Structure 1
Amino acid sequence: MNDLIQKYKVYIENKGLSKNTIEAYIRDLDQYVEFITNRDEDINLADEITINAYIQKLMEEKKSIASINRKMASIRNFYKYLNLYGYTKETPSFVYELPKSKKEIPITLTVDEIDRLLSTPNIECDKGIRDRAMLEIMYATGIKVSELLNLRLLDLNLKMQYIICNGSKKRQRVIPLGSLAIKYMEQYLKVRGNLGYNNENLLFFNNRGKKMTRQGFWKIVKEYAREANINKSINLYTLRHSFAVHLLENGADIKSVQELLGHADLSATERYSYITKKNRLKEVYTKAHPRA
């Protein structure tokens, strides 16, 4: 079975999916195979009963509806692959009903909280300058963490004030840089060579001179958020969410924000409009109501 999963991994890699998406799919399949193995069943003979038993197990483990739906999508696509290439003759029926997952409202920071967070790194040392530059780029462009960590030197053009972001499915977008992001990037480039890099192409790297991981960057953000006394439950997408909301609050049109974020579907961007409207209503209420 491991051989089939490895072949499937190569198959989806050739479809241009992001590394994180591929890892999530394979992780879902590994968990499903473990379930099948523990039931002493053959994956080729799995049927609707098997699928529903697995769903029941996930629900007992308190997995979210969104998580279960994603796992089912991973398993369904894997069976389609097996069927397409003749590894199995039939695809098990996926007849199940789950309540629709609630779309969570993204957590965002206020402009004041952003200022506190981005001002926390100690720019008297090389590491602090690097961290400040990374945070400034994140908030200035709204790119994903994976996109940030994959930036190359040739993707940066300070003279023309933009970066080239290579997103998932080989979609490329050009994103403007603000004056503060340019300021701290210029400072970082002066000390970048002091950080012991092993890869001359990567723009940012960890303290060992190697490509920084998402977990490594998350530790950096989490520590600075603690130092800045930000008590919100932030994650790796918080700066990206804040970027989108602040643009809309200051008059940017939603189509432009969609293009900057690299969303293929406008509905993915529209959730930020909900936050913007909510914030405006709260502001109006605070100003207008005598007991606000």
Structure 2
Amino acid sequence: MPTPTSHWISTFLEAQAAEQGAATNTQLAYGRDLKDFDHWLARRDRDFSDATRAEVEAYLVHCSDSGLARSTRARRLSAIKQLYRFAFEEGLRSDNPAIQIAGPGQDKRLPKVLAVEEVDRLLEAARNSGRAPEDRQRNTCLMELLYATGMRVSELVSLPVSAARGDPRLLLVLGKGGKERMVPLSPPAREALAEWLTSRDAREETARLAGRPVSRFLFPSRSAAGHLTRHRFYLLIKEFAAAGGVDPAKVTPHTLRHAFATHLLAGGADLRAIQTMLGHADVATTEIYTHVLEHRLAELVHDHHPLSDTALRRSSGNISSDGQ
């Protein structure tokens, strides 16, 4: 009796979670993608067990004709490829119909880059933003940690306070898929962390004496999660940008992650070390920052080299404005 396609999906997702530590959001996305492919096959009286390479390719054409973004189509093909690899290894199929199908690839968009001077202005704005000294200390700590470590915003706001005890030189971060990594702290980040801990602990002690529960998070709040939310920090960083004279459209928590990686690379850091600190599973993901740096250097040469078109036009404009 054939295995139901719903069982194929559930068994595959369980294996992804157990063997590869796939995050919940990743599993949900793969589940949706595979169900859509399953429904498309069912309308043609086919299923996972008998679909051919031609039908997988026809489904991808259907996705393209439906206006799905290239990134979405690439993810759907990835889900299908992984499902069939799993099915082949588990003996559900004797072949893999998707193994030789090339994906649409991803759009090559470079991350937005902040200059070191812009990051300095954001950090200074954080030091001066907040109604109370405790707010300013928290804001400073958030920004210093983010820029010093390149953490994802979800990792930052959910840091347990236990990770920050003892004036750490290294911070233990729980990343995607439950994977842990160690990231070093800069002296300014350690100083900001120590100041915030003193303030935070005093506030938590007051709460404890009043009979209220003590938070386990470094950045506690009254949110349902018990810690500062990603959305609240997103709004905070926009406030810092406006106060620091940096275009708010350029600034998000992820922009600071990009700045961390790009500035380290520009300073001569090893790409593998940056990969480890960012928590990238594949160094190919980290290599985008080499392209960012190359693009930035090309812009600098184009804008400032005395023989570049831009520099020559500026020079001509200056001569004209002097009346010569």
Whether TM exceeds 0.5 here: the answer is yes
Match of 1:145 among 153, 158, 162: 153
Asked if 1:68 is matched to 2:73, the reply is yes
Deviation at 1:109, TM superposition (A): 1.7
Deviation at 1:51, TM superposition (A): 1.7
Asked if 1:155 is matched to 2:169, the reply is no
Aligned to 2:238: 225
Alpha-carbon distance in structure 2 between the residues aligned to 1:35 and 1:116: 52
Greater shift, 142-151 or 64-73, is seen at 142-151
Structure scoring higher RCO (CA < 8 A, sep ≥ 6) equals 1
Report the TM-score, using the length of structure 1 for normalisation.
0.77
Report the TM-score, using the length of structure 2 for normalisation.
0.71
Alpha-carbon distance in structure 1 between the residues aligned to 2:253 and 2:76: 22
Deviation at 1:167, TM superposition (A): 3.8
Contact 1:51 1:94 in 2 (8 A): no
Match of 1:191 among 200, 206, 221: 200
Consecutive unaligned residues of structure 2, counting only runs of 5 or more, are: 315-324
Asked if 1:81 is matched to 2:86, the reply is yes
Decide whether aligned partners of structure 1 residues 25 and 203 sit closer, same or farther in structure 2, where only a CA change above 3 A counts: farther
SS of aligned partner of 2:67: coil
Rg (Cα) greater in structure: 2
Asked if 1:10 is matched to 2:14, the reply is yes
Alpha-carbon distance in structure 1 between the residues aligned to 2:250 and 2:43: 37
Alpha-carbon distance in structure 1 between the residues aligned to 2:184 and 2:83: 39
Decide whether aligned partners of structure 1 residues 272 and 47 sit closer, same or farther in structure 2, where only a CA change above 3 A counts: same
Decide whether aligned partners of structure 1 residues 211 and 47 sit closer, same or farther in structure 2, where only a CA change above 3 A counts: farther
Match of 2:115 among 98, 110, 121: 110
Greater shift, 55-64 or 27-36, is seen at 27-36
Deviations 1:140-159 (A, max 9, x none): 10122343355333322452
Alpha-carbon distance in structure 2 between the residues aligned to 1:202 and 1:7: 35
Deviation at 1:4, TM superposition (A): 4.2
Alpha-carbon distance in structure 2 between the residues aligned to 1:68 and 1:114: 35
Aligned to 2:318: none
Aligned to 1:276: 293
Contact 1:195 1:207 in 2 (8 A): no
Deviations 1:46-68 (A, max 9, x none): 33343223212221233333432
Deviation at 1:164, TM superposition (A): 1.6
Deviation at 1:248, TM superposition (A): 2.3
Consecutive unaligned residues of structure 1, counting only runs of 5 or more, are: none
Deviation at 1:245, TM superposition (A): 0.9
Decide whether aligned partners of structure 1 residues 251 and 161 sit closer, same or farther in structure 2, where only a CA change above 3 A counts: same
Alpha-carbon distance in structure 2 between the residues aligned to 1:220 and 1:70: 29
Aligned to 1:257: 274
Deviation at 1:33, TM superposition (A): 3.3
Deviation at 1:107, TM superposition (A): 1.5
Contact 1:133 1:181 in 2 (8 A): yes
Contact 1:143 1:240 in 2 (8 A): yes
Decide whether aligned partners of structure 1 residues 75 and 103 sit closer, same or farther in structure 2, where only a CA change above 3 A counts: same
Deviation at 1:108, TM superposition (A): 1.9
Contact 1:257 1:269 in 2 (8 A): yes
Alpha-carbon distance in structure 1 between the residues aligned to 2:261 and 2:96: 41
RMSD: 3.7
Contact 1:157 1:163 in 2 (8 A): no
SS of aligned partner of 1:175: strand
Identity percentage over the alignment? 24
Equivalent residue letter for 1:5:
I
Equivalent pairs counted in the alignment come to 290
Alpha-carbon distance in structure 2 between the residues aligned to 1:195 and 1:241: 37
Alpha-carbon distance in structure 2 between the residues aligned to 1:29 and 1:253: 38
Alpha-carbon distance in structure 2 between the residues aligned to 1:209 and 1:131: 21
